[in-house]
Amino acid sequence: MIGRSAGDIAALAPDAASLATARRLGPQFSATGHHGSTLWGLCAGSAAKPYEVVADLGGPAFTCSCPSRRNPCKHALGLLIAWSEDAVPAQDTVAPFAVSWLESRTGQPSTQGSPKPRSSNPATVQQRADRVSAGLEDLETWLVDQIRTGLAQADRSFRTFESIAARMTDAQAPGVASTLRRIPYTVATREDWPARLLADYAQLHLLVAAHRRIEELPEPLAASVRSHIGYPIKAEAVLERPADSDHWMILGSRVTEENQLFARKLWLRGRDSRKWAVLLDFSYGSPNFPSEVPGPGFVIDLDIHFYPGAAPLRGKVGKRHSRPEPFTTLAGSTIDDSLADYAHALGADPWLRSWPMLLSDVVPTATSGQWRVVGADGAALPLTHPFDEPPPWKLLGISGGHPITVIGEWTGTGLQPVSVFTAGQVVQL
C-alpha cells in the first residue's frame, strides 16, 4: 500500500522532472474519486480528450491513457499528490473506466461494495520483484563496465550517474537510485574519491548479489536488503511490530528541503536501553511536521516501533506514556566504544551509510585545515561536513577548547556533528 506522505509519493517518481510537473497538475483534474484502494480521475492535457488516470494503491500499479512510457507518469503522480492533499473525494462506486482496468489486471469482476482491508496482490508483488531483479542485472553489467574501463578512464559526469539512476527508478529500486545520485558529489568533493568510488561500487555489487539470493538470507538481513533497494513497507505493518518502550531523549534535529519537499530527521536515544532511534518525517510545500515528539533537549516516555532490518535504526512513534520534560544530564561514550558499536552495526548491515554517536568529553580541534574531535585518552575522529556547508566553526566556538559532549553521525570516513550538549542544554549546530 502506498503511503500518503509526500515522501512516499516522491519515492515513486521516475525522475525529478516528472515529479515537478505533477505538482502543478492539480487544477487540471476533474471527476476524481477514490474507493477502497482505487483512485481515478480525468486530467486535461494536450489531447482533445482528457486522460483517464487510475491508481491501485495496494499494488502499487498505475495506468493512464497518455502516451508516456513512464510508470507512473506525471498524471498518475499528480493524482496521488491530489489524494495526499485530501483533494480526491471518496465515492460509493468506482468509475467505469477504472473498473475496466481493474478487471483487465485481475481477470475477475471488480467488486464495488464496501472497501475491505487487503494485503498486496501476490502477482503484483512478484511483478515488482521481477522488475527490480531486471534492473539490478543491468546495474551489475554497468558496474562491471566501470571497473573494466578503469576508474580514471570511466565517465564520471553527473549525466552518467543520472542515467543509470533513472534506470533504477524505472526498475522500482529508488534506494539504489538515491545511492547512485550521491556518488558524483563524492567524486567532485573528495581528494580520496577513487577509494570512495570503489567502495561505493563494491557495496552496490554486494547488494545486487544479496538480492539475487534474498530467499536464502536470514529475515533481518533480507529486510535490510529490501530497505536499501527501496521496497516499500506499510506504516501499519511497522506499528504492528513489537515496541521498544523507553524514556527517549531527543538529541538532535535537522530539516532539509529539495524541490519544496521538506524532510525532518530526529535522533533519539533511550535513556535506559542506550538504543538509538531515528525518526524521518516529510512535508511538501512547508515544514509542517507531526508534533507527537518534542524538540531536542526533552525526554519522553513512549513506544518506538522499528522498521525491520539487521541493524534497526529508523522507527515510528507508537503510544506516549508521559509528557515531555527537559533533561539536564547526558551520559555518552568514548570514541573507542562508539566505533565498536558502529562496527557491530556494520557487521549486521554492510550497506549502512551512517550510524549515530554520542561522544563525551571530546575537544574539537582544527589544525592545518584538518578538523577532529579528540578524547581524553588521545583517541581522535575526523570531522566532516556537507560539501555545501561551511566547516563546523560553531562547534569550535561552543567548546572554547574545553571538553564537550558531541552528538553526530559517523559515516565511516568522518563524523558529521549534529548538536552539542553543554551546560545542561542541547545546542543545535
Tell me the C-alpha to C-alpha distance, in Å, between residue 140 and each of 15, 42, 70, 143, 166. Answer: 21, 40, 23, 5, 15
The verdict on 383 and 421 lying in the same domain is yes
**Does residue 117 fall inside a structural domain?**
no
112 occurs within a structural domain: no
Measured between alpha carbons, how far is 226 from 222 in angstroms, rounded to an integer? Answer: 6
pLDDT in tens, 340-357: 999 999 999 999 999 999
State how far the Cα of 113 lies from the Cα of 378, in Å rounded to an integer: 69
Q: From CA 184, how far away is CA 189, in angstroms rounded?
A: 9
The amino acid at 388: D
Query: Contact 151/197 with Cβ under 8 angstroms?
Result: yes
Sole residue written with cell 487544477: 27
CA torsion sign for 273, 274, 276, 281 is positive
In a domain, 1, yes or no: no
> DSSP label at 383?
B
pLDDT band of residue 115 (cuts 50, 70, 90) is very low
Identify the domain boundary among 229, 260, 283. 229
pLDDT of residue 369: 76
Decide if pLDDT at 157 tops 50. Answer: yes
Domain boundary among 277, 293, 326: 326
- The alpha carbon dihedral of 59, 64, 67, 70 has a sign of negative
Is 111 inside any structural domain? no
| Residue pLDDT, tens place only, 395-407 | 989 998 899 999 9
Report how far residue 326's alpha carbon sits from residue 320's, in angstroms, rounded to the nearest whole number: 16
At 29, list the grid cell. Answer: 483534474
For residues 209-219, one letter each, b for 16 or more C-beta atoms within 10 angstroms of the residue's C-beta and e for the rest, the string is: ebbeebeeeee
Domain assignment present for 259: yes
Strand ranges (DSSP E) for 83-218?
none
Residue 52 pLDDT > 60:
yes
Calpha distance 133→135 (Å, rounded): 5
pLDDT band at 1 (very low <50, low <70, confident <90, very high): low
Question: Which CATH number does the domain housing residue 354 bear?
Answer: 2.40.50
| Same domain, residue pair 85 and 23 | yes
Q: Cα–Cα distance between 281 and 8 in angstroms, integer?
A: 10
Give the separation between CA 152 and CA 164, rounded to whole angstroms. Answer: 19
Cα–Cα distance measured from residue 276 to residue 246, given in angstroms and rounded to the nearest whole number? 11
In this structure, the answer to whether residues 213 and 139 fall within a common structural domain is yes
Q: Name the domain boundary from 297, 326, 355.
A: 326
pLDDT digits (tens, 9 = 90+) for 257-297: 877 778 899 999 999 999 999 999 887 777 777 777 888 99
Indicate whether 102 belongs to any domain. Answer: yes
* Same domain for 93 and 149: no
Which residues, in sequence order, are CB contacts of 163 under 8 Å at separation 6+?
none
**Each residue of 164-207: pLDDT tens digit?**
999 999 999 999 999 999 999 888 888 888 999 999 999 999 99
Average pLDDT over residues 72-83: 90
For the residues 231-245, what does the mean pLDDT come to? 91
Write down the residue that cell numbers 482496468 correspond to.
101
Q: Say what the pLDDT of residue 388 is.
A: 56
Residues 225 and 145 placed together within one structural domain of the fold? yes
Owning domain of residue 157 = 122-229
Which of 243-252, 293-302, 317-326 shows the highest mean pLDDT?
243-252
CB 74 within 8 A of CB 25: yes
pLDDT at 17 over 60: yes
Number of structural domains found in the chain: 4
